[in-house]
């Protein structure tokens, strides 16, 4: 049961071959027996209560394609009944008085919440080692990281602890963990999915999206998650879409842009081999490969690590021990309370980004760093604009390597940052992108670890991306592989 797709589970539920309560109970047992540290908060009574309500809806035939299907939420989305910690000591026991829009929409569709998922603290990281509550393990190899910041989401889906999960992507945090855990994830166009109730990291970059087993599953979830939200000033007002509408279209004549910058030094041979094989499969499906250039790719890392920390330092200034969250027990005065609270409450990576952000926004450095980064960000977007005049979608690797061992880059934050080289530019441009499983590479101890293929589209082309991914998944079985 735990390896079935959302569509298969929906069919079983609506045919009453399994109940939402039985399904939820099955997943809760799997979560209880897991040692991956993917979940931060599980409340069996709450989940079964939601499942019983879903069963009542099914009995009345008041259903959506998602009614009764379990889901778990990244602990960046606030929830009324489960804790919302952002994987930080700063919010260790915080329970929100409201649900995030994404959580509310999926709940209204009848999905059953299994709990909250571990992530990098305040979504800052690419390995899920920065959580205040311990690292998440990769279900393919427990010595390996699952990717971040949505590592708990990807690990939970890959291990069959949940059939689907919500996630967020600021610089690659849906696509990279999906790649390293061998599942499917999509980051929509910036503004497609409401950020209301999503604990902010970098407001001009953060975007919610789904992680699931297949492109079709992601489309079903995105149908509910996407849409205008007046409570989010960055939400885009667009007509509702069925993102699964084009799944049956063939790929004859599709032009796939292959950026030469994505296949240079630094790309591991085993990753390149898997990605090249996937591109060859697309040629068999009728697509044509087009050589393109994205010359500003190498600048995406310095640009991102100026803009994102700058926005983070501003967003995280609200955590001062006064209104909510952690407060230091011992302090001499108000200023000391601020300092002690933030010293105790934030982890090293969060502090590092706050320091960088405060520096680049400070007097005398704002023009030299932050404004220059914003100018280059525009040039990066222009690179993509020119590329899409030559092709329909862009493909390449998600990560330069397969998942590395837990702790391998703990003493070198820059090495961790460099792993985002192929995902950052898409986020800076606000474009949609996704990762689908396309093979395996070798881990540090020669264990098999997943490789993901990145598919990037033009603005608002999520339906096309999902079709392109779905056709590949109809022709291959990488997405059906599961860890032992």
Distance CA 91, CA 319 (A): 9
Among this protein's residues, is 74 annotated catalytic?
Answer: yes
Spatial CB neighbours of 326, under 8 Å, sequence gap ≥ 6: 89, 90, 91, 92, 319, 341, 344, 345
CA distance 463 to 419: 28
Q: CB within 8 A of 88, min separation 6: which ones? A: 121, 122, 132, 345, 346, 347, 350
Cα–Cα nearest to 209, from 240, 178, 182: 178
Ordered DSSP codes for 261-289: GGGSTTS-HHHHHHHHHHHHHHHHTT-EE
Cβ-proximal residues to 474 (8 Å cutoff; 6+ apart), any chain: none
Task: Show the tokens assigned to 434.
Answer: 């996704």
Ramachandran angles phi, psi of 130, nearest 5°: -95, 5
Q: Exactly one of 19, 88, 149, 194 is catalytic; which is it?
A: 149
Burial class (CB in 10 A: 0-12, 13-18, 19+), 460: middle
Residue 334: exposed, middle, or buried by beta-carbon count in 10 A (0-12, 13-18, 19+)? Answer: exposed
- For residue 362, give every residue at least 6 positions away whose Cβ sits within 8 Å of its Cβ, in sequence order, or none: none
Mark whether 445 is an active-site residue: no
| Residue 204 falls in the annotated catalytic set | no
Quote the tokens at residue 479.
């997405």
Alpha-carbon gap, residue 33 to 51, rounded angstroms: 20
User: Taking a C-beta distance cutoff of 8 angstroms, is the pair 201, 453 a contact?
Assistant: no
Q: How many CB atoms lie within 10 A of CB 411?
A: 7
Catalytic residue of the set 19, 74, 87, 235: 74
For the chain, report the end-to-end CA distance as a whole number of angstroms: 15
Please identify which of the residues 173, 179, 194, 313 carries the catalytic annotation. Answer: 173
Per DSSP (E only), the strands in 170-262 are 184-187, 207-212, 255-259
Catalytic residues: 74, 149, 173
């Amino acid at each position: 049961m735990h390896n079935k797709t959302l569509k298969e589970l929906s069919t079983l539920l609506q045919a009453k071959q399994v109940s939402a309560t039985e399904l939820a109970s099955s997943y809760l047992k799997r979560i209880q027996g897991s040692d991956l540290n993917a979940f931060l908060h599980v409340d069996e009574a709450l989940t079964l209560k939601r499942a019983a309500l879903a069963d009542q809806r099914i009995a009345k035939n008041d259903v959506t394609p998602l009614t009764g299907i379990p889901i778990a939420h990244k602990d960046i989305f606030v929830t009324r009944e489960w804790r919302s910690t952002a994987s930080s000591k700063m919010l260790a026991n915080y329970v929100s008085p409201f649900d995030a829009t994404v959580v509310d929409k999926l709940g209204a569709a009848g999905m059953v919440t299994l709990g909250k998922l571990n992530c990098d603290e305040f979504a800052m990281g690419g390995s899920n080692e920065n959580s205040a509550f311990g690292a998440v393990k990769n279900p393919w190899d427990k010595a390996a990281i699952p990717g971040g910041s949505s590592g708990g989401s990807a690990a939970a889906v890959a291990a069959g602890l949940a059939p689907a999960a919500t996630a967020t992507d600021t610089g690659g945090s849906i696509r990279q963990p999906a790649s390293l855990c061998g599942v499917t994830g999509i980051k929509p166009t910036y503004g497609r999915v409401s950020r209301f109730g999503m604990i902010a990291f970098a407001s001009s970059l953060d975007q919610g999206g789904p992680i699931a087993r297949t492109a079709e599953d992601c489309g079903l979830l995105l149908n509910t998650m996407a849409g205008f939200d007046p409570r989010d000033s960055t939400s885009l007002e667009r007509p509702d879409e069925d993102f699964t509408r084009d799944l049956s279209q063939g790929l004859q004549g599709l032009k796939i842009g292959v950026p030469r910058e994505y296949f240079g030094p630094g790309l591991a041979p085993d990753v390149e081999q898997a990605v090249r094989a996937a591109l060859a499969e697309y040629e068999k499906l009728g697509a044509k490969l087009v050589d393109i250039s994205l010359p500003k790719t190498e600048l995406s890392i310095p640009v991102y690590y100026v803009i994102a920390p700058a926005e983070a330092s501003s967003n995280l200034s609200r955590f001062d021990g006064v209104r909510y969250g952690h407060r230091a027990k011992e302090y001499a005065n108000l200023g000391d309370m601020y300092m002690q609270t933030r010293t105790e409450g934030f982890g090293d990576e969060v502090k590092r980004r706050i320091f960088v952000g405060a520096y680049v926004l400070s007097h005398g450095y704002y023009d030299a760093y932050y404004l220059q980064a914003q100018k280059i960000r525009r040039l990066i977007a222009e690179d993509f604009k020119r590329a899409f005049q030559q092709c329909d979608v862009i493909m390449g690797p998600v990560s330069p390597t397969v998942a590395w061992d837990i702790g391998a880059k703990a003493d070198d934050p820059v090495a961790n940052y460099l792993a985002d080289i192929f995902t950052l530019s898409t986020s800076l441009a606000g474009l949609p992108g996704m990762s689908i499983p396309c093979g395996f590479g070798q881990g540090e101890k020669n264990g098999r670890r997943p490789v993901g293929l990145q598919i990037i589209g033009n603005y608002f082309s999520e339906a096309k991306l999902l079709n392109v991914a779905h056709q590949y998944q109809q022709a291959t079985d990488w997405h059906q592989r599961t860890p032992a």
